[in-house]
Amino acid sequence: MSSNSISTELRKLVINRASGRCEYCLIHSSYSIYTHEVDHIIAIKHGGETSSENLALSCLSCNRHKGSDFATIDAETGEIVPLFNPRRQKWDEHFYYEGARIEGKTQIGKASTRLLQFNIPNRLLQRQVLMSQQKYP
C-alpha cells in the first residue's frame, strides 16, 4: 500500500502496537487534549509508504513539529542528523529523563528533542503533573 490513505485495520495496528502512547514523547492518548495521529515516519512526498513499518503513533504536538521532516541540522556541528525512528530505534537508547525534561543521549536524540520541542514550557508542565500523579511515562 503506498497511498496516503490509512485503513482502519492498519490504524488499529499502529495504535495497539504503541499501547496508545506517542512513540516520540511517550504521552498517552488518555492525557492528551487532541487525538493522537498516525504519522508517516518518512513522508509520502519523500518516498515513504503507508505500511506498518513506516507508521508511528504521534501526539498532535510531536506530529506538528515533525511535519514531513525525517532529519534536521545539528545545532552544534551543522551536520544533517536523522530524527528518531520508532520502528528502527529504541527510545531509551536515544533519550533519558532529567526530571520531567526529555534529553537526548545521542546526536539523534538531541536533534529530535530540539526539533520536536519536547521541553517547551507547556509540555514540561504536562509531564510534571502526570509524573506527580504517577501517570507518566
Q: Say how many domains are in the chain.
A: 1
Domain of residue 46: give its range.
8-132
User: pLDDT for 111-136, tens place per residue?
Assistant: 999 999 999 999 999 999 999 999 99
Residue from 28, 35, 25, 30 nearest 60 by CA: 35
Q: Does residue 89 belong to any structural domain of this protein?
A: yes
Average pLDDT, the chain: 96
Whether 2 is covered by a domain: the verdict is no
Q: 3 in a domain, yes or no?
A: no
75 vs 93 pLDDT, higher one? 93
Q: pTM for the full model?
A: 0.94
Residue 64 lies in a domain: yes
pLDDT at 2: 45
Average pLDDT over residues 95-109: 98
- Rounded to whole angstroms, what are the CA distances from 9 to 4, 13, 35, 59, 75? 14, 6, 17, 20, 39
pLDDT at 3: 55
